[in-house]
Every structure is written in structure tokens, then in C-alpha cells.
């Protein structure tokens, strides 16, 4: 740990620049050097204090420091059909390596669409949600209608089913960046369905967005009546355009694609309907297909992670995120010796259901090569699997960069070299 | 509740425009009208889908919809010295009337400074925090040092002591907008103090920021060892410049001015030190002065609130925020008849300590004049006072726009007229 000192000479030099600047630009009477009020002479130079709050834009709606350069990256998903004539496979991965806490800033929330890069630009005053099909009373709600109804606010992650790691990705953004967590506010879908009145044979529902291919998905009615949320709020303001403005269906714990953006219609039906979104969910038995919707227990170390550098031996907090579609995270363990032994990590706050949970483990690095991993268990007892177990489950060969047809929630290793550099432990 | 229909003619017209556009711009083979894939013909026109995700800036760091225009406003605080030669009294109030959930977006977080509008523009790679004074080992921490230490993540509000309402303010942004709530991440001050080793006579500490007048404040050591947080993270990313980038002292539940921004030094001392920030805390007994630091229990209805309009009789969720420096909110009550009777409101999630808590109460408005109010009780049993009680406490005359020397946490009424317009109930 270092220390800094500012010489008296430097302070005086900066002070002189300040006095001059004031004289030239504002015409104010500049105090002579040496007569400057103490609080200014000691505060630093004028150059340290540009008036960056002085613009109308920054008064109305602030921005981050220009020193903070963490950004999303384009993330072409592996194993998907290539871009078609009507758009592009479009995925933005969140910079998990820089994440702190559990909320993802809306500006850095991951974005996934297989429906082209065109985003609906919807006027909320004209947007409506219609619920129809097997109901007693089909109803159409305006945005203002929805805001009059009982609201709920919940922390929930979303994760793209294609958020999988292999031996080639260099950073945690590339390997795990297709998940984020936000505070969502809206109306429970069950509240709306009770208004409409469900018919007895309404066993599935299809949600449809305003995108070019509508983003329709079929989901079981039990999920609708449990915890689905018609969200108009995200992290304290309106849902962002890239996340479905003005209305997004939240299906907590289900794969990202079911969380229908630009939601405009929900149809109650009596069977599983095949839709554009159903690649990957082609199971003979609709109940099995439904079960595969749910994200398994998963965790990853975000710091230190691939591409980062430990400056030297000593104490580090190993920090990461854990989440599960099965509910709240019950516990997280961290290994610093490639999985030979495991240590209980600290959970950083009361875990929320289907939400990212921050964990930490204090580690004294001795300067030798090490491999660090995390694994979690959720509230219903599901344990995050090893890579071998996931390959076995999907019946694919266990190779360095194997590719599974569904979610890969296996344990992710990071390797730390003697020089402190961190790399993908599978490479 | 209305409904919308798109005529078949309109769909076909839009479809034709789309097909033509593709032919002209991309050279792709346009499907003849009538052969267009169903999912496009039904999706709407190309004009509805500008490619607004296509810029590098929006890929890297998203923005809100151009339809969302909620902004902070300049909020000249009453009863303060007028702008001096070195800066301006500078306060930005958060648009609570549009708030949802409990997290305030960082871009809309309130900002208060009496230290001029110049904001330090600090390079985090050069920023350090020094702890000195009555300690065994003075230590200086870089930002990287701090991120290696055990972290905590907590939801906390901040409120300016001058956040008071009177009979003239038209909106809740004007009357209560000097408070916000965010997810803060950092290191407990107690963790750092244990590294330094406190001397037995270290009973107070002074926190100093990098602003022109340093923003120094004295606080009791008991608070330092309890829950003070050296925060580098805010809502999942770095603390914003307007909120103290790169380091802010969080003093949960204490008046905003103690939450020192641009934190660079903490000195352990043996008595209360008088500083620039101590206007308003001039009490003879330092123990009494310390007690007055803590924000009292407070709540306000944010929707419907002044300036908003109810479209007609029927059900509305009355929604608002409650908070207290005394801990978590235990309960909130809402009155819809000017305080004659009170009803238990619903708390929207597990209340966090010293954090905004969202409440809601379903109300069936009969179309007659009404006055709606909220009041809360915190976990240590403190009850939000009436306006009369606050005036009595501060020993000021109880008048329409009375002004108290400290925090005014009294109950705020909104009046609803027959035409649905909402105004300040004190006017």
C-alpha cells in the first residue's frame, strides 16, 4: 500500500493557474496569490474541478465518470443459425468482471435477441396488453391501467439459455455475461388473469411481443398463477428499450427467451403451442419441455477472473455471483486448489428468490499457481454440477469445448499463474 | 379501458412498404406481397422498428427510451446563504412522482452540495484514502487495496436535512425529492479501523472529501464501528461523480451531509471538531448534536401526488415511500379522509434497514374530494409526527409555510379535487 504527498510548491503552482483562470474567463476579481482563501488553496487546483455538473443534460440525468469504461460487448452465440435476411443474431454480454453487488445497471444489462437488430420504438401512450383466449372476459389494458393495479417489486435475474462456457473464452464477460439482475416492478400476471377469469381448460398461455416475429412462447398456467410479473419498471425507472420498453413479461427462473419483451398479447390456450421461439425446446412430452424451461443452479467467480491480474501475494476477496431458477441460493462454496477441497463462502445479503446472489471468500494467495472455482446449492437442494456431469446429462462427448443443446450451468475454473495473471482454467 | 384494432388493409399497406424497402436498400430478394412470411406481415411496418440498437454507444452502454422524460430539477433550498463567489448552492431533486420500486436510478439520484457546483474530476488510479489521527498505524489505501478487502452490499437511502415540505410546493419532487435510495457496495469502515488499531481516546472521527471545502464532518466512533461503509460501488457500477466518485462514506440513516463524497481522509480524534458542515448542528452538548444527526421516520405518497391527475373514479393503488434513520420500517398507514381514519398499507418487500421501503394501498375513489396521507413507524417504535408536533419540537410557530431549523419529517397531505387533479394539501 502506497502513500501520496503533494508538495507545497505544487499547490502554489496550481493555485496560480486557478487565479489566472478566474481573471481571464469571468472577469471576477482574482484574489492575489497568497491571499487565496484557505479552503481553495488546500482543495487542489481549478484543473481538478471542471464544472461538469453545469450542463442541462447532467443536471437532468447524470452520467458515470469518464474514467469508468466498462462496456457490454457483442457476443455472437455459438451454435445458432447464422444471420438471416430479416435481421441478425444479436447478443450483448454484460461486463461481469467489473460487477459489484447484485443489481446490474440497466445500461449494462445483457441483451439477447434472435429476432434481428430492429428494436420496436413504442409510444407507451398507445401501447396496450390484451389478454384473450380461454378466459371469461378478454381485457385490454393501457399502461395507465396497469399502473393503477396492485404492484409488486422484486429482484430477479434473467439468463440466456446459451450462456455457456468452454475452453476458449478469455473473460467472464464472454463465458457468463449473458445474465443480469435487476429490480423489476409491475403487476402479477395472476392479478390480471383473475380479472379476466380463467376457463377450466386454460392450461397453457402464449405470450407475444411486438417484435417482428412476436417472440411468442408457450408456458404452463401454473407458472402464470405463481410468480409471473408484467413489468413496467426496471431499477426504479421505466423498463429500458433494449429490455422490452414499455412492458416485459418476467418469468422468474425460466430461460431468458420466455421473458417476452414489448409484451402486447397473452393468449390462454389448452395445449402447448409450437412457436418461433421453440427451437431447443422440442420435447415430445409438453411437461418435460416445460421442466426444461427452468435455469439450473449456477455460480461463477467474477473477481479475480480471466484477463485480470493479481498484483502480488496476500489477501484477496474472491467475489462472485450465484443464481438458480429453483429459488433462492442456499449456500456457495469456493475452492482455491482446483476442487480438491471446498470452503464455505460468505453470502453478502439475504438471498432473494431467482435473483443473483453475491458471495465472497477471503483468500491468502501464497504466490503459487492456483485454480479457483465456485459451486452453489439452491433452496430446493439442487447442486451446481461439474462439467463432466453436464456433458453426461446432455449426452455429448466430454471435450475441451463441448457444446450442449441446452443450458450449461457447470462449475467454471479460473487459473492463476505465478505472475498473477488469470486465465480460463479449461484452456 | 380501451382496445385497439389494426385493419387488414393497414397491415397490407405496411407490408408493401417493408418489402420495397428491403429490395432498395439491401439488394436482398424481396418476397412478393402475399408470399411474405406470416410473422413479418403481422409484426407491423418497418417504420415501427428503427434500428436504434445499431450504434456503438448503445451497444456498449444502453439508454432509456426517448418517450421517458422524467428528470431531476434544480431545487434552491430555502433558508440558505445565497451563492458566493466560489460556487453556488446546488441541489438536484429526484422525480419521486415517477419512481417505482425502491432503487433510485443513479442518473436520477438526488444531489446536494453547499460547496459550489465544481465537482472533483478524480482519477481513481491516483485516489487514496488515508486513516490517521488516534490510531496505532496510520494507513493509506488505494482503490485497488480497498477492492481486495471483504466487501458488503447494502441498500441505503440518503436524505438531505433540508428536505422539507411547506404549503407552496406543487409536486412531491419539490417537497420530498432530496432523498434517494441505492445499492451501495464497499468495505465497512470498522474493517479499516481494525487494521489501523484505534487508540483508547479515539471517540470521534472526522471524514474529509476532496471538494473545495473538503466536506469535513465529525461523527461518533460508535457509528464508525457499527455500519459505516466506504463505498466504491453504487447500483452495480462505480459510484457516480455527482455522488462522490470514486469513494463515498456512507453513514446509514444520518443526514445526507455526513455521507462524505470524494472521501480521501478520515481522522480519529478525541472530541467533536467544528467544521464547515456544522451549521445546523450547533448544540452545546456533543452527545445531543450527535443524536440530531439521525433522520427521523418519514413517508410520503408518490402516486397520486401533486400535479398528477386521476382520470376518473375507481380503483387506484396509492403508492409511496417510507424510510427512517432508526432502522427498518415496521409499518405504514394510509388515510384517504384527511387523517380521520387510517388503514394498514402493504409493504412491498422485506424492509431493509435505513432504506426506502415501497408501500401500497388499494383505494376505490368515489369521485368526491379527498385528502390522502401516509404515516410510518420504524423498527424501534418511532412514529412519523404530524406537522403540529414537528413545529412544537423545533419551537417554531405553526403556520402554513413554517420553516424548521432541522429535519421536517411530518406527514404530507395531498388533496384530490372532484376533477381528479392532485394538489398540495397544505395550500
ipTM score: 0.85
User: In terms of DSSP bridges, do strands A422-424 and A414-416 run parallel, antiparallel, or are they unpaired?
Assistant: antiparallel
Option in B106, B151, B314 nearest A348 (CB): B151
Q: Is A104 on the interface with B (CB under 8 A)?
A: yes
A334: nearest Cα among A316, A313, A352, A309? A316
CB B303 within 8 A of CB B97: yes
User: What is the C-alpha separation between A188 and A151, in angstroms, rounded?
Assistant: 7
CB atoms within 10 A of CB B289: 17
User: What is the C-alpha separation between A131 and A149, in angstroms, rounded?
Assistant: 15
**Could you tell me what percent of chain B has a pLDDT over 90?**
63
Q: Assess whether pLDDT exceeds 90 at residue B165.
A: no
Q: What are phi and psi of B196, to 5 degrees?
A: -80, -30
Q: Is A7 exposed, middle or buried (0-12, 13-18, 19+ CB in 10 A)?
A: exposed
B218: nearest Cα among B232, B226, B208? B208
Rounded to a whole number of angstroms, the distance from the CA of B254 to the nearest CA of chain A is 22
Name residue, grid cell 410473422: B39
Give A232's Cβ-side CA count (13 Å radius). 26
pLDDT digits (tens, 9 = 90+) for B306-327: 999 999 999 999 999 999 999 9
Under the banding of pLDDT at 50, 70 and 90, the label for residue B8 is very low
Q: Assess whether pLDDT exceeds 90 at residue A404.
A: no
Q: Which of B62, B91, B215 to probe by mutation at the A interface, max A CB count within 10 Å?
A: B62
More confident position, B41 or A259: A259
Q: Is A237 on the interface with B (CB under 8 A)?
A: yes
Average confidence (pLDDT) over A199-228:
89
Residues of B in contact with A311 (CB under 8 A): 144
Average confidence (pLDDT) over A377-394:
91
Domains of chain B: which residue ranges?
Answer: 8-49, 74-291, 298-424
The H or E element spanning position B330 is strand B329-335
The radius of gyration of chain A's CA atoms, rounded to the nearest angstrom, is 26
Please state, in angstroms and as integers, the Cα–Cα distance from residue A59 to each residue in B35, B58, B75, B260, following that order.
Answer: 52, 21, 11, 20
Cell digits of residue A262: 414489448
The structural architecture, per CATH, of the domain A298-424 is Sandwich (2.60)
User: What is the C-alpha separation between A335 and A396, in angstroms, rounded?
Assistant: 26
Q: Residues 6 or more apart from A131 whose CB is under 8 A from it?
A: A138, A139, A140, A141, A192, A193, A196, A265, A266, A267, A268
Give the homologous superfamily in CATH for domain A73-291.
Oxidoreductase, molybdopterin-binding domain (3.90.420.10)
Cell digits of residue B4: 385497439
Under the banding of pLDDT at 50, 70 and 90, the label for residue B40 is very low
Q: Is A147 on the interface with B (CB under 8 A)?
A: yes
Q: Is A322 exposed, middle or buried (0-12, 13-18, 19+ CB in 10 A)?
A: buried
More confident position, B112 or A347: A347
Out of A76-85, A215-224, A290-299, least confident range: A76-85
The radius of gyration of chain B's CA atoms, rounded to the nearest angstrom, is 26
**Could you tell me what percent of chain B has a pLDDT over 70?**
78
Whether cis (ω within 30° of 0) applies to the bond prior to B235 is no
pLDDT digits (tens, 9 = 90+) for A46-103: 333 334 455 788 889 999 999 999 999 987 553 343 444 344 557 899 999 999 999 9
Q: Residues 6 or more apart from A57 whose CB is under 8 A from it?
A: none
Fold of B74-291: Sulfite Oxidase; Chain A, domain 2 (3.90.420)
Query: What's the CA angle centered on B261, arms B258 and B266, to 5 degrees?
Result: 70
The H or E element spanning position A238 is strand A237-238
More confident position, B111 or B82: B111
Query: What residue in B sits closest to A104 (Cα-Cα)?
Result: B236
pLDDT for the residue A44: 33
B204: nearest Cα among B215, B214, B217, B192? B217
B320: nearest Cα among B348, B360, B363, B289? B360
Under the banding of pLDDT at 50, 70 and 90, the label for residue B162 is confident
Average confidence (pLDDT) over A109-135:
87
Any idea what DSSP says for residue B326? T
Q: Is B394 exposed, middle or buried (0-12, 13-18, 19+ CB in 10 A)?
A: middle
Under the banding of pLDDT at 50, 70 and 90, the label for residue B53 is low
Average confidence (pLDDT) over B84-91:
53
Cell digits of residue A12: 502554489
More confident position, B394 or B82: B394
Q: CB–CB of B236 and A100 under 8 A?
A: yes
pLDDT for the residue A5: 38
Q: CB–CB of B59 and A74 under 8 A?
A: yes
User: What is the C-alpha separation between B410 and B374, in angstroms, rounded?
Assistant: 10
Same fold, A73-291 and A298-424: no
CB atoms within 10 A of CB B6: 10
Under the banding of pLDDT at 50, 70 and 90, the label for residue B214 is low
Out of A23-37, A107-121, A240-254, B65-79, least confident range: A23-37
Under the banding of pLDDT at 50, 70 and 90, the label for residue A314 is very high
Cell digits of residue B154: 447494502
Under the banding of pLDDT at 50, 70 and 90, the label for residue B22 is very low
Q: Is A27 on the interface with B (CB under 8 A)?
A: no
Which B residues 245-264 touch A at CB under 8 Å? 245-246
Average confidence (pLDDT) over B168-193:
96
pLDDT for the residue A304: 98
pLDDT digits (tens, 9 = 90+) for B101-135: 999 999 999 998 765 556 788 999 999 999 999 99
Q: Assess whether pLDDT exceeds 90 at residue A358.
A: yes
Q: Residues 6 or more apart from A8 whose CB is under 8 A from it?
A: none
CB B119 within 8 A of CB B112: no
A182: nearest Cα among A229, A141, A218? A229
pLDDT digits (tens, 9 = 90+) for B323-370: 999 999 999 999 999 999 999 999 998 999 999 999 999 999 999 999
pLDDT for the residue B21: 27
User: What is the C-alpha separation between A170 and A415, in angstroms, rounded?
Assistant: 11
Under the banding of pLDDT at 50, 70 and 90, the label for residue A342 is very high
Q: Which of A236, A244, A317 to probe by mutation at the B interface, max B CB count within 10 Å?
A: A236
Query: What's the CA angle centered on A117, arms A113 and A122, to 5 degrees?
Result: 90
Average confidence (pLDDT) over A216-231:
93
Cell digits of residue A100: 459489484
pLDDT for the residue B77: 57
Under the banding of pLDDT at 50, 70 and 90, the label for residue A116 is low
Write down the mean pLDDT value for chain A: 83
User: What is the C-alpha separation between A266 and B422, in angstroms, rounded?
Assistant: 34
pLDDT for the residue B186: 98
Q: CB–CB of A120 and B48 under 8 A?
A: yes
Query: What's the CA angle centered on A148, arms A143 and A154, to 5 degrees?
Result: 85
A167: nearest Cα among A346, A358, A353, A424? A424
Cell digits of residue B238: 462505480
Option in B128, B150, B211 nearest A317 (CB): B150
Average confidence (pLDDT) over A374-387:
96
pLDDT for the residue A401: 73
- Chain A with chain B: Cβ pairs closer than 8 A: 320
A374: nearest Cα among A416, A336, A324, A323? A336
Q: CB–CB of A102 and B2 under 8 A?
A: no
pLDDT for the residue A15: 30
User: What is the C-alpha separation between B72 and B95, in angstroms, rounded?
Assistant: 6
User: What is the C-alpha separation between B364 and B316, in angstroms, rounded?
Assistant: 6
pLDDT for the residue B75: 76
pTM of the predicted model over 0.90: no
**What residues are paired with A113 via a beta bridge?**
A90
Q: Is A397 on the interface with B (CB under 8 A)?
A: no
User: In terms of DSSP bridges, do strands A346-347 and A314-323 run parallel, antiparallel, or are they unpaired?
Assistant: unpaired
Name residue, grid cell 490510531: B135
CB A423 within 8 A of CB A415: yes
Option in B63, B124, B151 nearest A107 (CB): B63
Under the banding of pLDDT at 50, 70 and 90, the label for residue B158 is very high
Q: CB–CB of B59 and A72 under 8 A?
A: yes
Option in B52, B141, B150 nearest A121 (CB): B52
Q: Assess whether pLDDT exceeds 90 at residue A157.
A: yes
CB B19 within 8 A of CB B45: no
pLDDT digits (tens, 9 = 90+) for B385-408: 998 898 888 788 887 777 777 778
More confident position, B16 or B158: B158
pLDDT for the residue A79: 35
More confident position, B11 or B195: B195
3-class secondary-structure state, position B427 = coil
User: What is the C-alpha separation between B337 and A189, in angstroms, rounded?
Assistant: 31
**Could you tell me what percent of chain A has a pLDDT over 90?**
63
3-state secondary structure B226-245: HCCEEEEEECCEECCHHHCC
pLDDT digits (tens, 9 = 90+) for A7-54: 333 322 333 222 222 222 222 222 222 232 332 222 333 333 334 455
pLDDT for the residue A290: 55
User: What is the C-alpha separation between A359 and A33, in angstroms, rounded?
Assistant: 52
Query: What's the CA angle centered on A90, arms A88 and A96, to 5 degrees?
Result: 165
Amino acid at each position: 500500500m502506497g502513500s501520496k504527498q503533494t508538495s507545497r510548491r505544487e499547490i502554489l503552482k496550481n493555485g496560480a493557474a486557478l487565479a489566472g483562470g478566474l481573471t481571464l474567463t469571468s472577469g471576477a476579481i482574482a484574489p492575489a496569490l497568497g491571499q487565496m482563501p484557505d479552503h481553495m488553496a488546500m482543495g487542489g487546483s481549478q484543473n481538478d474541478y471542471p464544472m461538469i455538473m453545469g450542463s442541462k443534460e447532467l443536471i437532468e440525468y447524470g452520467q458515470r465518470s469518464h474514467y469508468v469504461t466498462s462496456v457490454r460487448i457483442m457476443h455472437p452465440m455459438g451454435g445458432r443459425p447464422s444471420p438471416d435476411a430479416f435481421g441478425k443474431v444479436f447478443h450483448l454480454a454484460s461486463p461481469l468482471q467489473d460487477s459489484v453487488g447484485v443489481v446490474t445497471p440497466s445500461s449494462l444489462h445483457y441483451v439477447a435477441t434472435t429476432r434481428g437488430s430492429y428494436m420496436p420504438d413504442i409510444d407507451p401512450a398507445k401501447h396496450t396488453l390484451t389478454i384473450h383466449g380461454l378466459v371469461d372476459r378478454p381485457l385490454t389494458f393501457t399502461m395507465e391501467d396497469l399502473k393503477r393495479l396492485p404492484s409488486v417489486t422484486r429482484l430477479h435475474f434473467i439468463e440466456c439459455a446459451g450462456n455457456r462456457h468452454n475452453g476458449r473464452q478469455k473473460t467472464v464477460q464472454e463465458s457468463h455475461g449473458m445474465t443480469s439482475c435487476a429490480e423489476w416492478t409491475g403487476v402479477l400476471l395472476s392479478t390480471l388473469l383473475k380479472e379476466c377469469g380463467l376457463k377450466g381448460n386454460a392450461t397453457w398461455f402464449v405470450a407475444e411481443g411486438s417484435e417482428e416475429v412476436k417472440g411468442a412462447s408457450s408456458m404452463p398456467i401454473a407458472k402464470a398463477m405463481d410468480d409471473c410479473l408484467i413489468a413496467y419498471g426496471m431499477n426504479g425507472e421505466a423498463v429500458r428499450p433494449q429490455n422490452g420498453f414499455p412492458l416485459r413479461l418476467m418469468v422468474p427462473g425460466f430461460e431468458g427467451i420466455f421473458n417476452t419483451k414489448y409484451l402486447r398479447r397473452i393468449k390462454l390456450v389448452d395445449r402447448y403451442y409450437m412457436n418461433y421461439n421453440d427451437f431447443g425446446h422440442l420435447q415430445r412430452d409438453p411437461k418435460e419441455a416445460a421442466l426444461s424451461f427452468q435455469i439450473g443452479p449456477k455460480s461463477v467467480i467474477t473477481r479475480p477472473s480471466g484477463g485480470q491480474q493479481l498484483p502480488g501475494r496476500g489477501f484477496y476477496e474472491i467475489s462472485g455471483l450465484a443464481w438458480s431458477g429453483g429459488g433462492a441460493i442456499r449456500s456457495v462454496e469456493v475452492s482455491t486448489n482446483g476442487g480438491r477441497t471446498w470452503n464455505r463462502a460468505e453470502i453478502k445479503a439475504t438471498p432473494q428468490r431467482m435473483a443473483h446472489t453475491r458471495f465472497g471468500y477471503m483468500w491468502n494467495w501464497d504466490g503459487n499457481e492456483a485454480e479457483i472455482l465456485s459451486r452453489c446449492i439452491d433452496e430446493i437442494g439442487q447442486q451446481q454440477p461439474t462439467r463432466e456431469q453436464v456433458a453426461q446429462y446432455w449426452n455429448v462427448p466430454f471435450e475441451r469445448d463441448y457444446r450442449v443443446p441446452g443450458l450449461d450451468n457447470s462449475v467454471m475454473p479460473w487459473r492463476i499463474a505465478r505472475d498473477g495473471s488469470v486465465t480460463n482454467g479449461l484452456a
